[in-house]
Amino acid sequence: MRLSLQNLSMSLAVVSLLSGGAVSAQSLAGVNTRLVAPLNSQTATEGQTVTVKLDGTVKTADGVKLTRGAELLGKITGVKPSQNGGAASVTLTFTTAKLKDGKQIPVKATLLAAFPGDQGVEAQYSDSTMNAVNSSVAGNQTIDQEPGALPGITLKAAVQAPESGTFSKTDGNFKLAAGTFLQVGVAPAANSASTSAAE
């Protein structure tokens, strides 16, 4: 299944890709993924493992190929549960790609967009209205997805930032269900010497 921002109602999402500060030479390759397990701001803890599974195949500018079914492994690196109906946030950092053969390689990953993965939402989408995520994401991009696609939940991220992105809600805790679609930009980690294709 493919995702895009085309032909979605304005009430679903407003995603802005804005220029950041200093330009990084590193660009990312975009791919659609799905959250493997639910993520709840009320019960999340720092250090908790978070996994997404690739819905498609992607090849980075450095020649690393991640095939459909590979996983991105990360952790919660910041969490603020809501107190008395106040704001809540969860920051994720994906650092590793786990290939289908079990091999793991370090990656740089940035969250680009998020959409519900429930059957009701999937039913309104079709291959003709959902193009693939952007194949290339510039190294100076920042992401600001306002509430809409995920009701009440904001996503903020920047390619230059060490973390992958932060979900937040201004008025209480939130939950991302298993199967939530996350569009992710990936590249080999800056300190990784691997530039060969990995199946």
Q: What angle do CA 181, 188, 155 make, to 5 degrees?
A: 35
Residue 40 forms part of a structural domain: yes
CA distance 185 to 66: 12
pLDDT tens-place string over residues 152-164: 999 999 999 999 9
- Entry pTM: 0.80
| Residue span of the structural domain in which 87 resides | 31-188
The predicted structure's pLDDT at residue 127: 41
Domains: count for the chain: 1
The predicted structure's pLDDT at residue 64: 82
The predicted structure's pLDDT at residue 73: 98
Residue 182 forms part of a structural domain: yes
Residue 199 forms part of a structural domain: no
How far lies 162's CA from each of 12, 46, 159, 171, in Å? Answer: 28, 16, 8, 27
The predicted structure's pLDDT at residue 191: 61
> 3-class SS at 181?
strand
- Give the chain's residues under pLDDT 70: 1-26, 118-132, 191-199
CA distance 6 to 28: 21
Please give the structure tokens belonging to residue 150.
């995920």
Residue 10 forms part of a structural domain: no
- In the numeric block, the tokens 């996503």 are attached to 155
User: Helix H segments across 33-158?
Assistant: 119-124
The predicted structure's pLDDT at residue 148: 78
- In the numeric block, the tokens 């979605």 are attached to 8
Beta bridge partners of 76: 92
Residue 174 forms part of a structural domain: yes
Residue 15 forms part of a structural domain: no
The predicted structure's pLDDT at residue 118: 62
Residue 2 forms part of a structural domain: no
Residue 57 forms part of a structural domain: yes
Q: What is the CATH number of the domain that holds 123?
A: 2.40.128
